[in-house]
Amino acid sequence: MQAKALTKDKSGHPVGNAFASHFAKSMFLAVSAIVLLSFIGTRMFTHIDLNLYGYMVGTIVFIGGFFYRFIAWGERPPTKIFIKKGIKLLFRKSTPKTSVEHLATYRFIWNRGIYRWTQHMLIGWGCVLACLVTFPLVFGGMYFTMPENGYYTVVAMGLDVMTVKADGVIAWLSYNALNISAIMVITGVCMALYRRLKNMQARAEQTFLYDFLPLYMLLLISVTGLALTFMNVFLHGWGQPVMSLIHQYSVIVTLIYLPFGKLAHIPFRPLSVFARNYREHYAEQSMKECKVCGDGFVSTEQSNDVISVLGINEMSFQQKEGFHLAELCLPCRRKYRIAQFSGIATHEIKVKEANQNAKG
């Protein structure tokens, strides 16, 4: 019977069964897409810069690490529900606004203060700008040619996009895009380091490997990148080969580290749009009232999903009073836990926490 089932399953999904796992399939498709786009963008591999080979290898390793972590995370029961319902709600009318606030203007950080918002804007958009320049150059999606003296032709995906003066504004911005992004990242990282060293709450919660190391890695990439420009312009190339290797190694190590450290939230950030749509959509339908204070704290759908996932994981939080712990709002849940140790029904005392509606 098992042999028949396996045979039937393989015949039904021939493509999926050609791979050992979801990870292997995702990596094969991703690398194949990169090769195809590089083939098109470089006009059949006629424009390849072998000096960027190390960055290419580091990027492919990063993609492998990203898929590994994403698939491991996506296989969890709560994540499956979150992603499945998030995809269904992707075309809500509020999605464009939510996407801009979460991915472009970082509106959700504004409530934490203009200082933190500024540092996130500088680091976030500095990294985005660097990626938009670096990755197309590495894989041949964009490059420059000089068919006539004094003018550059910008080639994108194998097509001549525009011709610009070599000493014009567009050319200057193109040449210095990475320098601009480096200055943005250095400024943002220094602001973040200053806050982490001066803010007592941040100092109590942070660790070197998780909180400081990513900032130092971004700082190393940016400083060595600016050093390359300085050596080329002011030192006539002196020391550039060594600094080029240092910069390349710093980028490769950071790319390899990125999926497994704190910086992993950067490629995962678009999923925050799913979370916002999920909360808003089901909150509009029905709110779950707390079994103790009666306040609506989450949508009924989210509460039911939490209870369902806990059941899948064989975790029961059904209480002797007849309610599930997930049916209590956070303040009442905290007070109920205190009641288990004190013997006093503190969760029934109608006193709200002073900071339960605080922003940030």
Over range 86-101, report the average pLDDT: 90
Q: Which residue has the tokens 């972590």?
A: 69
Mean pLDDT score of the chain: 84
Q: How confident is residue 31, by pLDDT bands cut at 50, 70 and 90? A: confident
With a cut of 80, say whether residue 188 has pLDDT above it: yes
- In the chain, the percentage of residues whose pLDDT exceeds 90 is 22
Q: What is the pTM of this model?
A: 0.80
* Residues 235-276 pLDDT 10s: 888 888 899 999 999 999 999 998 888 888 888 888 889 888
Helix axes 213-234, 240-257, angle to 10 degrees: 160
Instruction: Grade residue 144 by pLDDT with cuts at 50, 70 and 90.
Output: confident
Confidence of residue 353 (pLDDT cuts 50, 70, 90): low
Give 73-131 as a DSSP string. HHTSHHHHHHHHHHHHTTT-TTHHHHHHHHHTS-HHHHTT-HHHHHHHHHHHHHHHHHH
Tell me what the mean pLDDT of segment 16-25 comes to.
Answer: 77
- Domains in the chain, please, with CATH? 19-272 (1.20.950), 286-348 (no CATH)
DSSP 145: E
pLDDT of residue 249: 93
The predicted pLDDT at position 215 comes to 93
